[in-house]
């Protein structure tokens, strides 16, 4: 249900200017009119921009609408300092991440914009040790199997001239395997939590929306002093493994694809400087 309280509406026209579906029609000397309300995408712009709370929307009851505390907003300078200081800090310890911090990271991800406010992004947090170990074991095992195939002499002779960059990474894979065998989890950077950000495979803007959510979560993690590392290595492995196995390991529906995965953990130390670039 969408309505405008004409008694307190000032005809300022702000709702008309912000509505992506062109529903409100406001003229200074006429009563407000609403057109094609079924086209509403539920973004809430109309409710949030109305200076007198005249715009009424059943999806956004009064008790769910908050006034922005602008005194809490970061200055451009402080936000830029946060952006400059953010980096992949892989010195992750086994110290648990405070639950409050994880909740704030998830909330930040949920508040990211999505195409046409479709809200098809799903968040899944992996924190139990067994599931983290299963991801690590599967990733290392898959890449080592690939490495053994690549190093098989007849294949190596044929393929190395065409895949030099890939063959140059084999020593790093071997080093990761040694770390894994010593009890470390190199492919997930020893993360104590994995944030899996997924969307339906059939959704055209899955990659864009999931990575917008990732950016929100990443900045929040940095502000909380929590290490965050983009799990590109894990994502590549999941792509090679196939839908069924990847879905089981990551705990997401088979119909979804993990477009972004974030490793989280408490760092051993923080960087004191950043380089200008």
Which residue is it, tokens 């914009």? 113
Question: What is the structure's pLDDT at 242?
Answer: 87
- Cβ partners under 8 Å of residue 174, min gap 6: 147
Taking a C-beta distance cutoff of 8 angstroms, is the pair 235, 261 a contact? Answer: yes
Question: What is the structure's pLDDT at 163?
Answer: 67
Question: 3-class SS at 182?
Answer: coil
Mean pLDDT of the residues in the chain? 92
Percent of the chain with pLDDT over 70: 96
Measured CA distances, 84 to 147, 187, 211, 264, 275 (Å): 37, 25, 19, 19, 9
* Residue 145 banded pLDDT, cuts 50, 70, 90: confident
182: pLDDT strictly greater than 90: yes
Question: What is the structure's pLDDT at 124?
Answer: 98
Question: What is the structure's pLDDT at 59?
Answer: 92
Q: Enter the tokens of residue 74.
A: 């970061």
Q: How far apart are CA 143 and CA 188, in angstroms?
A: 13
Ordered domains of the chain (ranges, CATH): 2-64 (3.30.70.20), 76-129+187-265 (3.40.109.10), 133-186 (no CATH)
A 10 A CB-CB count for 99 gives: 9
Question: What is the structure's pLDDT at 100?
Answer: 98
Percent of the chain with pLDDT over 90: 79
Q: How many CA atoms lie within 13 A of 154 on its CB side?
A: 0
Q: Which of 95, 101, 126, 108 is nearest to 265 (CA)?
A: 95
pLDDT (average), residues 71-78:
95
Q: Which DSSP string do the residues of 98-110 spell out, in sequence order?
A: PHHHHHHHHHHHH
- Residue 35, exposed/middle/buried by CB under 10 A (0-12, 13-18, 19+)? exposed
20: pLDDT strictly greater than 70: yes
pTM of the model: 0.89
- pLDDT, tens digit (0-9, with 9 covering 90-100), for 226-275: 999 999 989 989 998 889 999 999 999 999 999 999 999 999 999 999 99
151: pLDDT strictly greater than 80: no
Q: How far apart are CA 56 and CA 271, in angstroms?
A: 48
pLDDT (average), residues 43-64:
93
Q: Which of 142, 97, 128, 101 is nearest to 240 (CA)?
A: 142
Taking a C-beta distance cutoff of 8 angstroms, is the pair 199, 259 a contact? Answer: yes
Question: What is the structure's pLDDT at 103?
Answer: 98
Q: Which DSSP string do the residues of 228-272 spell out, in sequence order?
A: EEE-HHHHHHHHHH-HHHHHHHHT--TTEEEEEEEEEE-BS---S
Q: How far apart are CA 27 and CA 40, in angstroms?
A: 20
Question: What is the structure's pLDDT at 118?
Answer: 94
- Residue 205, exposed/middle/buried by CB under 10 A (0-12, 13-18, 19+)? middle
* Residue 168 banded pLDDT, cuts 50, 70, 90: confident
pLDDT (average), residues 134-148:
88
More confident residue, 161 or 83: 83
* Residue 147 banded pLDDT, cuts 50, 70, 90: confident
Burial 39-73 (b: 16+ CB within 10 A, else e): ebeebbbbbbebeeebbbbeebeeeeeeeeeeeee
Question: What is the structure's pLDDT at 154?
Answer: 77
Measured CA distances, 167 to 136, 150, 155, 160, 204 (Å): 22, 8, 12, 7, 34
Segment (H or E) for 127: none
- pLDDT, tens digit (0-9, with 9 covering 90-100), for 80-101: 999 999 999 999 999 999 999 9
* Residue 149 banded pLDDT, cuts 50, 70, 90: low
């Amino acid at each position: 249900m969408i309505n405008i309280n004409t008694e307190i509406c000032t005809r300022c026209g702000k709702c008309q200017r912000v509505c992506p579906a062109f529903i409100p029609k406001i003229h200074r000397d006429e009563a407000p009119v609403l057109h094609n309300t079924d086209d509403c995408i539920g973004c809430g712009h109309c409710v949030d921009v109305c200076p007198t709370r005249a715009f009424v929307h059943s999806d956004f009851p009064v008790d769910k609408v908050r006034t922005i505390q602008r005194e809490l907003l970061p200055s451009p300078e402080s936000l830029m300092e946060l952006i400059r200081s953010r980096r992949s800090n892989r010195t992750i310890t086994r110290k648990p991440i405070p639950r409050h911090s994880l909740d704030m990271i998830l909330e930040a991800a949920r508040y990211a914009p999505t195409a046409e406010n479709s809200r098809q992004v799903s968040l899944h947090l992996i924190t139990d040790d067994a599931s983290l170990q299963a991801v690590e074991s599967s990733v290392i095992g898959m890449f080592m199997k690939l490495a053994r195939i690549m190093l098989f002499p007849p294949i190596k002779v044929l393929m190395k001239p065409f895949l030099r960059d890939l063959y140059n990474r084999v020593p790093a894979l071997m080093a990761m395997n040694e770390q894994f065998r010593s009890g470390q989890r190199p492919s997930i950077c020893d993360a104590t939590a994995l944030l899996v950000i997924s969307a339906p495979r059939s959704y055209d803007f899955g990659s864009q929306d999931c990575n917008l959510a990732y950016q929100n979560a990443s900045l929040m993690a940095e502000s909380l002093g929590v290490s965050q590392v983009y799990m590109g290595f894990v994502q590549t492995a999941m792509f090679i493994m196939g839908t069924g196995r990847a879905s089981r390991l990551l705990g997401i529906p088979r119909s979804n694809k993990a477009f972004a995965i974030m490793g989280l953990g408490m760092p051993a130390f923080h960087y004191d400087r950043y380089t200008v670039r």
